[in-house]
Structure 1
Amino acid sequence: MLNIAIVEDELPALEKLKAQLSRVCTHTLLFTCHSVQEGLASNELSKVDVLFVDINLPDASGMSLVTTLKNRGFVGECVFSTAYSEFAVEAFTIGAADYLLKPYTDERLSLALSRVNDRLNKPTAQLQEPEAFTLVSKVGDKVTLVKVSDICAIKLEHAQAIAYGSEASYPLDQSLDELMTLLPSQFLRVHRNSIVNSKEIKQMDRWVTGGYIIKFHQSEVQVISSRNGGRLLKDKLIR
């Protein structure tokens, strides 16, 4: 059974979420409140498994609430419930378990709770494994969580970072410099315009520029490294 709390200033939205939760899971609703300050002042926070947070609150952003809670050592999971898609990348960057765009169905809420349960039941050490990391791809109102372990390469194309997986490609909002601060050590910057997953490399052939043309197990995408990138990659693979 999950201990749930909700920070939502719009009464219709609050009542709808409460009704949906009653249909999709067994839970205890510890408290509801309408502002960031009320949320921070609650004596029940230490018992909360999952906190549902709206973005636009009367006194501050729901983002600031979650950031403050995490800095204070809050160990529960946070799910944003909002009508605004543009904050999704920031939400996942600060550790949100999910990001629900209003209006959402019972099925979508169930998926969010399933992700919460997975995170709550997974040992902390496992959460640090590369397979547990995700990046966020946003196209219009559609937000996709991309498992880092599924990415073969990330290329800069027309000033947009594109992650290539086994079956699809995903635009990312971060720069390649920013991505390199987020990705695990198996990812290497082999060119100013390219990052590769060293664990997914199938073949490397010398290229006319002095670098390598790199091919992957799970994707048809190919990457050409610089000379320095090729040396970096050889050092990594030979180790």
Structure 2
Amino acid sequence: MEIKAIIIDDETRARMALQLLLEEYCPQVTLVEQCEVLADGIKAIHKLKPDLVFLDIEMPGHSGLELFDFFNEEDIHFSIIFTTAYSQYAVKAFKFSAIDYLLKPINPDELVTAVQRFSRLKTQNLKVLRDNLEQNKLNKIAVPTGNSILFLEMDQILYIKGEGSYAEIVLIHGEKIICSRYLKNFEDILGQHNHFVRVQKSYIANINYVVQYNKSDGGNLEFQNKICIPVAPDKVEIIMERIALIKR
């Protein structure tokens, strides 16, 4: 499987060193661009649509951790391996759902492991997509959780809350499931069903369980169990239309 990659790093030596390592140890990786500044890297990502980005964290003007500030959620179809000389960034890197982080100078074995991890996760993502196509016929959704895939009945989902590159699925009995998926991924799958609506930037609601719309506090939806979630004013009309459609 060919992997299209971009390197974003302000250090010329670091870019050249990584390129040589990739050529020698990871022949499946094809470098399509190398960028010295984050702004050029953002343009290259939009234009070339890489599978993988090797991203330095410490760069003049911007931190690599700011990359996602320049993308809409639906435009993020690439993964990141952070490269840094500072180990304290490791936790932050994984909060951004990075595939891995590599400490400079980069160890060839660690580079190979990181690229292999990306390949495994990409294969898993394709499996999840296939599973969702199949499970949709059974009104189920495939949710990757760690090393396994959980099949949830859609009617068990109360709402889903997006938090960056993660999503929290709240079930009708109160159980919460955390998975490393963007809310947009769930919207694409659940949007085919009238009872799931993206009611706000960070929420998808199962309106089968909505009992009340409250105008107070900016507007919120109340479920049967008294839980409330915010709703955007421009979503109220479509929610009411969907509820009316379901009750016919």
TM-score scaled by length of structure 1: 0.52
Amino acid at match of 1:107: D
2:9 is aligned to 8
Q: Structure 1, residues 148-202: CA drift from partner, whole Å, max 9, x if none?
A: xxxxxxxxxxxxxxxxxxxxxxxxxxxxxxxxx9799478xxxxxxxxxxxxxxx
Match of 2:113 among 103, 111, 114: 111
Match of 1:102 among 101, 104, 108: 104
Amino acid at match of 2:144: E
- Asked if the contact 2:5/2:52 (under 8 Å) is kept, the reply is yes
- Asked if the contact 2:55/2:64 (under 8 Å) is kept, the reply is yes
* Displaced runs of 4 or more, over 6 A: 181-184
Root-mean-square deviation (Å) = 2.7
2:144 is aligned to 129
- Asked if the contact 1:50/1:79 (under 8 Å) is kept, the reply is yes
CA shift in 2, pair 1:183/1:99, >3 Å: farther
- Asked if the contact 1:67/1:94 (under 8 Å) is kept, the reply is no
CA shift in 2, pair 1:89/1:128, >3 Å: farther
- Mapping of 1:38-187 within 5 angstroms? 38-42=40-44, 45-69=47-71, 71=73, 73-123=75-125, 125=128, 128-132=143-147, 185=175
Is 1:23–2:24 an aligned residue pair? yes
Unaligned runs of 5+ in 2: 130-141, 149-166, 178-248
Higher helix share: 2
- Mapping of 1:224-239 within 5 angstroms? none
Amino acid at match of 1:15: M
Unaligned runs of 5+ in 1: 134-180, 188-239
Percent identity (aligned): 28
Amino acid at match of 2:83: S
Task: Write the distance in 2 (CA, Å) between the matches of 1:70 and 1:122.
Answer: 23
Say which SS state the counterpart of residue 123 (structure 1) adopts: helix
TM-score scaled by length of structure 2: 0.50
